Structure 1
Amino acid sequence: MNLHIESIGSGPDIVLLHGWAMHSGMWRDVSDHLAQHFRLHLVDLPGHGFSRNSSPAHAPGSQSATLEGMAEMLADVLPASFIVCGWSLGGQVAIELALREPLRVRKLALISTTPCFVRHSDWQWGMEAATLQLFTENLKRDYSVTMKRFLTLQISGGGSGTASALVQLRKSLFERSKPDDAALEAGLQILLSSDLRGKIRNIRQPVLLFQGENDVITHPDAARWMNQQLKNSELIMLPGCGHAPFLSYPDRFVTAMLRLAHPLTYGH
């Protein structure tokens, strides 16, 4: 499969991974600023955005239907050394990539990420599986309406910048074709089944955790839990912020990425 990757800017290599049902255009409002300092690689994950028509194979059992498979695909086409930044589901892909390529992935930024999206008896900071299933059924029935509701949910809990963040999300999302149905279904199965809690402590690289304290999709306490598990991590918890903190606080996000890449220059 040929993944669509747009590379812009110059400097240390940073790979940006979007969330489920999205595409790399969602980063546009911060990518121009980041590209002044970094060489950015904006990836459309399999079946999403401009990677939508790269291959018909997104069925269960295909390489792109698992976190491990997506990490393997990315490893084949990414630079020799890079920082990886993943949002939501993209954060889980970033974790897998860091575990698979510990010498190539220098550092991680996990944006609104959780090791486990679904609630379990020993994990209270997840969503009910039935909620995810219902969402996917609605997505198949009416993609546009359901995604507009999903975007509204993503900025739920935000402060004064909520309205502008929602406008940005909607504008960016519908600039590209909707993900193919098989990719959406494969993504749902990843959301339902992925559980990285047992792997997370094996990450040795420095990690930035960037989280909205009012996120209703990935619980803030999941980020706090990861912060405890990851010995070399920094948690930035943003007040009055939902699931898209890099849009609600773009300047803080860019500053945090600069500090992650250049701690001696941009440190506290």
Structure 2
Amino acid sequence: MGFVLKEENGYSYIDEGEGEVLLLLHGLMGALSNWERVIEEYSKDYRVIIPILPIYDLPLLTTGVKSLAKYVHKFITFKKLNDVVLIGNSLGGHVALIYCLSHPDVARALVLTGSSGLYENAFGGSFPRRESYDFVKEKVEFTFYDPKTATKELVDEVFATINDRNKVIRILAMAKSAIRHNMAKDLHKISIPTALIWGRNDKITPPDVAEEFNRLLPNSELHWVDQCGHAPMMEQPDEFNKLLRGFLEKIKV
């Protein structure tokens, strides 16, 4: 990936392009590379910013989705951003929802793809056995419709992460926090335009989760991506980008 990771004031982030800000939030096991095709497509017309969420750096007692939302707020304040479009995958979508509830005047639109916040079936119902590479491979493949999307590089990355004791403890704490923090009763308060771009074959946040988000978010529209699992921007990037562009064109000021 040919994008520069910037380090400033304790923040690590990608900042590419100019114009209206698209702020991308990655998931629990997500990496910046997950968004590669989105950055390539949109940095020509927008300013695309991706902060690295401090999932492994928070004190264990405060490791949770609300802490990540506070971190995003501090980052947005530090960068003096406003009228942003928040785009979140998986845990990143959950963080975006919490942020929009707390700071309704900063984000002008929201895009969720495979977002947690209602229900998620993390790692196919069980956490990977750390010692078993094949088991980890199987669980990473579970994320996608086409198992081949789980490249060796991606599996290696996840395997290394969950074999780091410090990281795995925080991953478990963050996952538990996301499951406990159900947002069903609060979603009606988020009135900004929201696009739900969902893999029709998502096994982690299944289609009925997308339908429930669509029912509960008052200003939302739901778009399906066929032959696609939990990360449409990785597995079907052309279709994801097409749907995202349609939404961005619709909400242009």
Q: Give the TM bin, normalised by the shorter chain.
A: 0.7 to 0.9
Partner of 1:46: 54
> Quick one: structure 1 residues 153 and 39, their matched pair in 2 at CA, closer, same or farther if it must change by over 3 Å?
same
Partner of 1:17: 25
From 157, 162, 171, give the equivalent of 2:153.
Answer: 171
CA displacement at 1:214 relative to structure 2: 1.2
Partner of 1:109: 111
Whole-angstrom CA distance in 2 between matches of 1:20 and 1:171: 17
Alignment of 1:48-197 (within 5 A): 52=56, 55=57, 57-60=58-61, 62=62, 65-78=63-76, 79-117=81-119, 126-127=120-121, 132=125, 134-135=126-127, 138=129, 141-142=130-131, 145-155=134-144, 158=145, 162=146, 165-167=149-151, 170-171=152-153, 174=156, 178=161, 180-197=167-184
CA displacement at 1:247 relative to structure 2: 2.2
Q: Counterpart of 1:76 in 2: which secondary structure?
A: helix
TM-score (norm 1): 0.78
Structure 2 stretches of 5 or more lacking a match? 1-8
CA displacement at 1:149 relative to structure 2: 2.5
> Quick one: structure 1 residues 166 and 131, their matched pair in 2 at CA, closer, same or farther if it must change by over 3 Å?
closer
RMSD: 2.6
Structure 1 stretches of 5 or more lacking a match? 118-125
Deviates more, 1:256-265 or 1:74-83: 256-265
From 40, 44, 67, give the equivalent of 1:36.
Answer: 44
Whole-angstrom CA distance in 1 between matches of 2:124 and 2:148: 27
Q: Counterpart amino acid of 1:25?
A: S
Whole-angstrom CA distance in 1 between matches of 2:241 and 2:29: 24
Q: Counterpart amino acid of 2:59?
A: H
Identity, % of aligned positions: 23
Whole-angstrom CA distance in 2 between matches of 1:97 and 1:218: 20
CA displacement at 1:2 relative to structure 2: 3.0
> Quick one: structure 1 residues 59 and 225, their matched pair in 2 at CA, closer, same or farther if it must change by over 3 Å?
same
- 1:215-267 per-residue CA deviation (whole Å, 9 max, x = no partner) reads 111010110111112221110112222112122321222222222222177xx
CA displacement at 1:28 relative to structure 2: 1.2
Instruction: Tell me how many residue pairs correspond in the alignment.
Output: 235
> Quick one: structure 1 residues 242 and 15, their matched pair in 2 at CA, closer, same or farther if it must change by over 3 Å?
same
CA displacement at 1:207 relative to structure 2: 0.3
Partner of 1:120: none
Kept in 2, the 8 Å contact 1:111–1:211? The answer is yes
> Quick one: structure 1 residues 87 and 130, their matched pair in 2 at CA, closer, same or farther if it must change by over 3 Å?
closer
